[in-house]
Amino acid sequence: MSSLQHRYHSLAASIHSLQEISFPVLNHRHAYGTLNTPHCTDPRTTHSFNSMGFQDWFAQKSRKWAALRQKPAMRLFIWSTWIPVAICFLDHAYFLGHISGNSMTPALNPDSNLGKRDIVLLQKFLIKQPGYLKVGDVVLLRNPMDPDKFLCKRILGVGGDEIVTRHPYPQKTCFVPFNHVWVEGDNIHSFDSNNFGPVSLGLMHGKCPKVLWPFNRFGAIPDGGREARKEKLGYVDDVVEG
Where the chain has pLDDT below 50, the residues are 18, 21-41, 44-46, 49, 234-242
Comparing CA positions, the residue from 205, 225, 214 lying closest to residue 122 is 205
Q: Does some domain include residue 212?
A: yes
Q: What pLDDT does residue 46 have?
A: 47
Is residue 126 domain-shared with residue 225, that is, in the same domain?
Answer: yes
Q: For the chain, how many structural domains are there in total?
A: 2
Q: Does some domain include residue 238?
A: no
Q: What pLDDT does residue 67 have?
A: 73
Is residue 51 domain-shared with residue 114, that is, in the same domain?
Answer: no
* Sequence-ordered list of residues with C-beta below 8 angstroms from that of 205, at least 6 positions apart, any chain: 122, 124, 127, 139, 140, 141, 142, 150
Q: Please, which residues bridge with residue 130 across strands?
A: none
- For residue 69, the surrounding DSSP H or E stretch is helix 54-69
Determine the residue type at 58.
F
Is residue 157 domain-shared with residue 62, that is, in the same domain?
Answer: no
Domain end: 77, 110, 142, which one? 77
pLDDT in tens, 76-133: 766 666 677 666 655 666 888 888 888 999 899 988 777 788 999 999 988 989 999 9
Q: Does some domain include residue 141?
A: yes
Q: What pLDDT does residue 13 have?
A: 62
Q: Does some domain include residue 85?
A: no
Residues carrying an active site annotation: 103, 153
Is residue 57 domain-shared with residue 105, that is, in the same domain?
Answer: no
Is residue 139 domain-shared with residue 202, that is, in the same domain?
Answer: yes
CATH of the domain at 186: 2.10.109.10
Dist. CA 98–CA 118, nearest whole Å: 6
Strand ranges inside the chain, DSSP E? 94-99, 118-123, 138-143, 146-158, 161-164, 173-175, 180-184, 199-200, 204-213, 219-220, 230-232
**Domain hosting residue 69, numbered range:** 2-77
Q: Does some domain include residue 237?
A: no
